[in-house]
Structure 1
Amino acid sequence: MESQPESHLLKLRKDTKENVRKIYNLDKPGRLEEAIKILQHWIQKQDHILKKDWNADYLDKTLIASKGSVEKAKKQIDRLCTMKTLIPKFFEVINVKKELPTILDLAMVMPLPTQTEEYYRVILVKIDTKEIKPEFFMMYFQYCLSVAEYIKTHDYANGFILVYDCRELNLAEVITKISTVELQQFITLLIEGYGARLKGIHIVSESKAIEMLINIVKQFLSEKVGNRIHVQRSIEDLPKVVPKGILPVEYGGNEKSIKELQEEWLEAITSEEHMEHLKVMYKACTDETRRNAGKFNEEYMGMPGSFRNLSVD
């Protein structure tokens, strides 16, 4: 095992980069470098994409998230930049610890330090609240996107396994309070913008409302990803789907406690370095007046929300 130099929070296996690149045929000498150069050249020619200086490391990870496809990587970059323009409320530069203390009392978002043997990153989300207010959801989405940007910058993974501990969450109230438009936009951001490739989504809950919530979420997922949602009735069931050794001690594993992990993550995503990074990346948006209108209509009319009402001159 070795830690990636940029972050002690996201450990990589010694052969992670080599083997993940091999999975997507990017391991041959010069192949990855060539793909990155093609992306950099393409970005320079896109008048509507305002950020031009995308570093090779970020593009490398975008190619991995796109299964080695340069064309899919182009689309992912374009989508993320466009969504920053169309739904900017998700991308407010916020110091989570100082500006969103309410949500931190309710939710913990913790990517676990150790990868699985297949190079997947497990992200544990623990939510402890029975009282739900509509404004909580946007706070939570902004919190998650700050973590997502950190992962995009510092991690190198084959994909993600999401674990939601909802034992203390009133799921019936979630269903009545959440905005399905914002939920769809958030899911689209993670999957189509950040390229989150999901191996599995595991929800720990005994609530009878869980199936109803899953049916809502599945409307915004492909059938393939939707079929990867599974309900675990007890935390004792988690080691069946996530290697026991990488789980926090509260879940029967050997990792630090969830309180320690959350504190470390909050320090990381509220650091001066990360806050400056957010300012730069959240400005990586588009000027839609410079985009071919026909191309915009073709690519984005089906996106969630009221995007179809946007006028592109």
Structure 2
Amino acid sequence: MPFKEIDVDTVYKGDPQLKKEDIKNLKEWAEMQPHLPKMTELQLILFLQSCYYSNELAKTTIDIYFTVKTLCPDIFANRSIKDPAVKLAATTMLASILPKRTPNGDTVIFFKLMDNNPDNFNFALQIRCFDMITLSHHHREGPQNGITILFDMQGIVFGHFLKLSVVIMKKLLYYLQEGMPIRLKSLQYFNIPSFMDKILALMKPFMKKELYDSIQIHTTMESLYAQVPKDILPQEYGGSCESLKNLHDKFLKLMAESEDLFKFQETQLADESKRPGKPKSISDVFGMEGTFKKLEVD
């Protein structure tokens, strides 16, 4: 069935800080950028709200969003659950927006491996699934007050770590911090593997201090519950949310139902040949990939 996104009038009514005049000005700016694709009003709203209603910051974020999406097809292209590789990634991982929010109003995106076999783990495709389901949720439900990403690390073994890529990690964290139209508040991890320090060491060089300081490592469930109350969590963790299996089934169903949105997103690419001034290349944004040091592990 056709993808059903939230009505923009509903978003305006629910957010007194969101001004139609600001969206009008942002739209006029976007339409004057020859390298940018045509955007919907809801997309403009998502960018402005995620930038705390700063038009100038929203302009920068929009440009980065489309630039990264265009220059990184290894992560962002081919957004279809019908593709065997994407389907395997979605089957391997649960990425679920939990029904209840935290006491401070943040939306929780819950991650967990559903298949612990490292052979089926593809870092770039897991990121693609995260991006697809997160933006699909924002298009269905409207802008979110904030996003907390919660990782259950159970089942993650050293074989998964060895499949992480420094290049892909840099692209992910740049996009997450500079281009994705969400308000990312914190990263929460529990059921920690013994090599968590190595994962953090891989991430830290590409993270702003603010985001790195938001990371919380929970060694007990009581520590986790202090940040994400038990009641919010799936049944397996003592919460009132449904089971992991039901959440995963719904995740796969939502991915399939969002096919129209994903196809539209695939068409929205920057045309660097039309960018005013000098076109941007992958090395302009991320540096030469060949200059990354080889990942060394003990």
Q: TM-score, normalised by structure 1?
A: 0.80
Aligned residue number for residue 288 of structure 1: 272
Aligned residue number for residue 46 of structure 1: 33
Aligned residue number for residue 294 of structure 2: none
Selected match of 1:148 from 128, 134, 145: 134
Mapped contact 2:283–2:289 kept (Cα < 8 A): no
Give the secondary-structure state (helix, strand or coil) at the position aligned to 1:38: helix
Give the secondary-structure state (helix, strand or coil) at the position aligned to 1:96: coil
Aligned residue number for residue 303 of structure 1: 286
2:180 maps to 1:197: no
Give the secondary-structure state (helix, strand or coil) at the position aligned to 2:35: coil
State the 1:205 CA deviation: 2.8
Give the secondary-structure state (helix, strand or coil) at the position aligned to 1:168: coil
CA distance in 1, matches of 2:126, 2:41: 30
Q: Would you say how many aligned residue pairs link Structure 1 and Structure 2? A: 283
CA distance in 1, matches of 2:164, 2:126: 11
2:23 maps to 1:57: no
2:161 maps to 1:175: yes
State the 1:208 CA deviation: 2.1
Mapped contact 1:181–1:304 kept (Cα < 8 A): no
Q: CA RMSD in A?
A: 2.9
Distance change >3 Å, CA 206–CA 277, structure 1 → 2: closer
Deviates more, 1:188-197 or 1:116-125: 188-197
Mapped contact 2:232–2:240 kept (Cα < 8 A): yes
Where does the alignment leave 5 or more consecutive residues of structure 2 unmatched?
Answer: 292-298
Aligned residue number for residue 67 of structure 1: 52
Q: Tell me which of the two structures has the higher relative contact order, counting C-alpha pairs closer than 8 angstroms and 6 or more residues apart.
A: 2
| 1:66 aligned partner, one-letter code | C
| 2:230 aligned partner, one-letter code | K
Mapped contact 1:129–1:169 kept (Cα < 8 A): no
CA displacement, residues 73-114 of structure 1 (integer Å, 9 cap, x when unaligned): 111111111112211222233433662343344311111112
| 2:265 aligned partner, one-letter code | M
Aligned residue number for residue 311 of structure 1: none
Mapped contact 2:121–2:160 kept (Cα < 8 A): no
Give the secondary-structure state (helix, strand or coil) at the position aligned to 1:125: strand
Deviates more, 1:32-41 or 1:193-202: 193-202
CA distance in 1, matches of 2:110, 2:290: 32
Aligned residue number for residue 86 of structure 1: 71
Q: TM-score, normalised by structure 2?
A: 0.84
CA distance in 1, matches of 2:290, 2:122: 24
State the 1:222 CA deviation: 0.4
Give the secondary-structure state (helix, strand or coil) at the position aligned to 2:149: strand
Where does the alignment leave 5 or more consecutive residues of structure 1 unmatched?
Answer: 8-14, 309-313
Give the secondary-structure state (helix, strand or coil) at the position aligned to 1:202: strand
Selected match of 2:89 from 86, 100, 103: 103
State the 1:159 CA deviation: 1.4
CA distance in 2, matches of 1:250, 1:16: 34
Aligned residue number for residue 162 of structure 1: 149
| 1:264 aligned partner, one-letter code | K
2:215 maps to 1:232: no
